Amino acid sequence: MKKEYPDVLNKKGVLLFKKKKYSDAIKLFKKAIEMNGKYVEAYVNLGITYSDAGLREDAVKAFTKASILDPLYMDKFGLDLSKRKRDDSEMFIKEARLAFSRCEYQRAMEYVEAAVSLKPEYPDYRNFQGEVYLRLNRLHKARLCFEKALDINPSYWRAKRNLSYILYLKGLEFFADGMKNEMLKLWRKAISIYPKTDLLKLAVNLEFTNATMKCKCTNCENFIENDFKYCPHCGLKR
């Protein structure tokens, strides 16, 4: 019997895939991989076939193996992810979370953008996209994603918490620039968006800033803003 090489098995698998004979195609891709454990293209084709066959977990494993063997190949492949079917969005989001857990944030962004392009109405995807942008230090993009998630689902607590945190960070930037009033506006908005925030530091800073921006009148002992030239309560000139 004539021996078949991995690339021949891979090509035959692709032909079977196009005929939607998924189980037969999977067998050939696996056989090609057994003969060449570093055959990235076969892993990718195996992942695509698993995906179309509805085997999402197996698809993610195949794509993950391919990305480990050759990240550059998967980067090129990732550019076309948004052209896949809507049902593939779940697979893409899992791959995105896997990359995120490895601190591969740029790769995670490619996959999550593919998922969002397929199902833009999913607030979970929008929120996770914002979390990836946050790790990439692109705060404006992150804020837009969290706001979009809340447009879709106004009661989505995770997006509320994340948006609150973004406003907190932006407030710190205003504070560093000496724009305390703008900072206070953002922090108050952050608390109103997510009152259950675990950012106790935010509330402490808010109280501290309020205190440092005011002083006590020496005459009537009421608190007034530091930049006031007259006390609005008793008229004493400062």
**Number of domains present in the structure of the chain:** 3
162 domain residue, yes or no: yes
SS3 216: strand
- Same domain assignment for residues 189 and 215: no
Tokens standing for 14? 């692709």
Distance CA 133, CA 230 (A): 47
pTM for this predicted structure: 0.53
- Same domain assignment for residues 45 and 153: no
174 domain residue, yes or no: yes
Nearest to 188 by CA among 169, 202, 173: 202
48 domain residue, yes or no: yes
- Same domain assignment for residues 4 and 107: yes
- Same domain assignment for residues 112 and 2: yes
User: CA angle, corner 78, sides to 140 and 91, nearest 5?
Assistant: 90
pLDDT in tens, 8-62: 999 999 999 888 899 999 999 999 999 999 898 898 889 888 877 878 778 777 8
Given a cut of 60, whether residue 88 has pLDDT beyond it is yes
Q: What is the CATH number of the domain that holds 34?
A: 1.25.40.10
203 domain residue, yes or no: no
Distance CA 203, CA 183 (A): 12
- Same domain assignment for residues 44 and 64: yes
The amino acid at residue 155 is S
User: CA angle, corner 104, sides to 101 and 107, nearest 5?
Assistant: 115
pLDDT in tens, 137-169: 999 999 999 999 999 999 998 899 899 889 888
The amino acid at residue 34 is E
40 domain residue, yes or no: yes
- Same domain assignment for residues 1 and 114: yes
- Same domain assignment for residues 41 and 136: no
Say what the pLDDT of residue 41 is.
87
- Same domain assignment for residues 42 and 97: yes
- Same domain assignment for residues 39 and 83: yes
The amino acid at residue 193 is I
Say what the pLDDT of residue 151 is.
94
151 domain residue, yes or no: yes
- Same domain assignment for residues 136 and 51: no
Given a cut of 70, whether residue 234 has pLDDT beyond it is no
> Of 77, 101, 118, which marks where a domain is finished?
118
Distance CA 154, CA 120 (A): 16
- Tell me which residue range forms the domain holding 133: 120-198
pLDDT in tens, 125-134: 999 999 999 9
- Same domain assignment for residues 32 and 91: yes
Distance CA 131, CA 124 (A): 11
For 223, list phi and psi in degrees, rounded to 5. -80, 135
- Same domain assignment for residues 72 and 4: yes
221 domain residue, yes or no: yes
143 domain residue, yes or no: yes
